[in-house]
Amino acid sequence: MIKETMTPTERTWAAIKLEPCDRIPVAPLMDVMFPSRHKGMTVAEGIAHPRRGFQAIVDTFDDVGGWDAMILPGYSLPIPPSIAAVMQVVIGDTRYPGKEPGFSEDSSPQFIEKELLTIDDYDDIIKLGWTGFAEKHLSRFFPLDPEVLLAWAKRQLDRYKSEGEIWKARNIPSLCGSMVMSPLMFLSTRRSLVPFTQDLYRFPDKVQAVMDAMIDDLIRFAIEAAHATGIPGVELILERGGCFYYPLKIFERFEFRYMKKMVNAFADKGLITVMHFDQDWTLNLPYLLDLPKKMCVCELDSTTDIFKAKEILKNHMCIMGDVPASLSSIGTPKEMRDYCEKLIDHIGKGKTGFILSTGCTIPFDTKFENFQTMINSVKNHLPQ
Amino acid sequence: MSELANAIADLKEDEVKKIVQDKIASGTNPMSIVDECRQGMEIVGKRYKDKEYFLGELIMSGEIFKEAMAVVEPKLKAGQSKKPVAKMVLGTAKGDIHSIGKDIVAMLLNAAGFEIYDVGVDAAPEVFINKLKETGAPILGISGLLTPSFESMKQTVQALEAAGLRKKVKVIIGGGIVTEVVRKYVGADAFTDDAPEGVELCKKLAGAVK
């Protein structure tokens, strides 16, 4: 066991600010699913009972001897209670475990990819702005009293804040006080991938006009939520704009231009951005040098080349990741230890600028012994 | 390369529509139009391999190809269509309802001349087995984006063995989180996390079962 000379908060923030750490910090991207199963509940139970679900996270933390930071403090959603902010979440179709015939109580929620926004909606967003569009169309997506929705958002936000405070009392920092998608990610998932791709090629100017009409509101919601929760960071959710999906000319025009505006606006308010990159972004990595130094975390899921990321970004931002989901669920403890130690040696070189984490959210069918091995790896192994 | 193949490769949607309609109107053999469209798709595949094109261009070219086929296929006489490269059963594993990756691969395989039997999402092992028995397809593709799909894939391969079909059917698994570790766990013959690579692997598997 390595002798520790820093608290988890000091260690995590030192890694983000590219300052030396006593050892590499570890911060799994946690939700209630794996902890619920670990503590004898089904996934459906953990989701349906937020307090029990959250307690399962805390108990799992204790069972493995603790980790260094929560990327998000729990499973609640940090949404400011306004119609326009909540509407981002309401436009969606998700299947929940135990709620659909044949959909097991022990499965993860799954987002249904379908055309929820139409081409005509583009015109309305351009004309009315996001807030105007949300107020006009809310009943289409949420046919009940808006007050019910606002009360739900307030409960979520309050719970998120209190979950953050519970971790803070344990001297465990939470990194993100709000979550937001880039405009491209939002539109691609709500128009669905194929129609949105056709939009990009058929009506690029219109798509850009929609993004221009949305961006200031998205930034405002994220900052409001971070201020309300008192946690100085934003989780920026990114998947559909990287080089797995599109060439750099599309990334530059429809993704990076807005990412940069968001990250700069957050940094101006003193908020760090944890860029949650799903899928492969290897070719996009050099662009990240144009974002404010030491104010971002590059969170990778094992499909982007993390070694290339270190080479490019080592003096600019912290890298987080990237234990593959398959390793957590069907790998062996030895395979897990070997992989984590390789990351600690190479990405954690210099004992800074790296936080070991799961590649995306920890899978609900993770083997506990694999998770324990991942957490222990940083406590027993220094970068060689 | 023909004007039509180049128009598909360059993603010129309106131009493709016009050329196909003109060719049909002038009495061109519909089968040769299909061949030219497939040649265009091969150029797209090459550009993808060379990192000149990405998934977005694959999606666009696939949609353009589909639109062209919608015009040409009704003109093909019965029995005129070419023998498929191979029949293939494709679906998303039980417990997983993600369809996009599967649909993109199906579109590319269709364009490459495969005859695809898509059993949809959340497909139980018996659904795959029944479709393989019904069609006699020698290739099975199972897609999955969530870790529990690994167990469903494994159960499907075991069901294939129990049905006495394993030696006759090659199995390929695919999805964003599928790796060599997963392939071994499942007992599949091949794996991919990349749609065009999946098509190339299916061509190899088709060659192996002929």
The one-letter amino acid code at A349 reads K
* A1 lies in some domain: no
Q: Are strands A354-358 and A110-111 parallel, antiparallel or unpaired?
A: unpaired
Q: Is B17 found in the same domain as B63?
A: yes
pLDDT of residue A36: 96
Q: Per-residue pLDDT for A33 more than 70?
A: yes
pLDDT tens-digit map of B41-82: 999 999 998 999 999 999 999 999 999 999 998 888 766 667
Same domain for B70 and B100?
A: no
Number of domains forming the structure of chain B: 2
Contact between residue B106 and residue B113 where contact means Cβ atoms under 8 Å apart: no
- Domain boundary (B42, B75, B108) is at B75
In this structure, are residues A81 and A152 in contact, taking their beta carbons and an 8 Å threshold?
Answer: no
DSSP string of B55-102, one letter each residue: HHHHHHHHHHHHHHHHHHGGGSPTT-SPPPS-EEEEEEBTT----HHH
Structural domain range at position A55? 8-380
Check whether residue B132 and residue B198 sit in a common domain.
Answer: yes
pLDDT at B81: 66
> Can you give the CATH number for the domain in which B50 is found?
1.10.1240.10
The yes-or-no verdict on residue A377 having pLDDT over 70 is: yes
| pLDDT of amino acid B80 | 65
Indicate if the pLDDT at residue A102 is higher than 80.
Answer: no
Q: Which two tokens stand for residue A86?
A: 């909540």
Q: How many domains does chain A have?
A: 1
- Which residue from B53, B98, B151 is facing A110, i.e. has the nearest CB? B98
Query: Do the domain assignments include residue B81?
Result: no
Chain A interface disruption, residue of B55, B92, B94, B103, most A CBs within 10 A: B55
Q: Which residues pair with A236 in a beta bridge?
A: A180, A275
Residue A332 Cα, gap to closest chain B Cα (Å): 10
Strand, helix or coil at A69?
A: coil
Which of B49, B75, B101 is where one domain is finished?
A: B75
Residue B26 has pLDDT above 80, yes or no: yes
A317-326 per-position pLDDT tens digit: 999 999 999 9
CATH code of the domain covering residue A293: 3.20.20.210
Verify that B133 and B179 share a domain, yes or no: yes
Q: Are residues B26 and B99 located together in one domain of the fold?
A: no
Domain C-terminal end among B29, B51, B75: B75
Query: What are B128-153's pLDDT values in tens digits?
Result: 999 999 999 999 999 998 898 999 99
Residue A3 in any domain: the answer is no
SS3 A381: coil
Domain CATH number, residue B193: 3.40.50.280
Is the ipTM reported for this complex over the cut 0.85? yes
Residues B198 and B129 in one domain: yes
In a domain, B63, yes or no: yes
Q: What is the pLDDT of residue A372?
A: 98
Chain A closest CA to B148's CA: distance in Å?
A: 7
- The domain of B199 spans 87-209
Confidence of residue A234 (pLDDT cuts 50, 70, 90): very high
Check if B144 contacts A (Cβ < 8 Å).
no
Has residue A18 been placed in a domain? Answer: yes
Determine the Cα–Cα distance for residues B107 and A225; give it in Å rounded to an integer: 42
pLDDT beyond 80 at A108 = yes
Q: Measure CB to CB from residue A329 to each of B59, B147, B193 and give the nearest one.
A: B147
- Percentage, residues of chain A above pLDDT 70: 100
Range B154-167 average pLDDT: 96
B25/B110 same-domain check: no
* Same-domain pairing of B163 and B103: yes
A330-346 pLDDT, tens digit per residue, is: 999 999 999 999 999 99
What's residue B78's pLDDT? 63
Cβ-Cβ contacts under 8 Å, A207 against chain B: none
Numbers of helices and strands, H then E, in chain A: 16, 8
Report the mean per-residue pLDDT for chain A.
Answer: 95
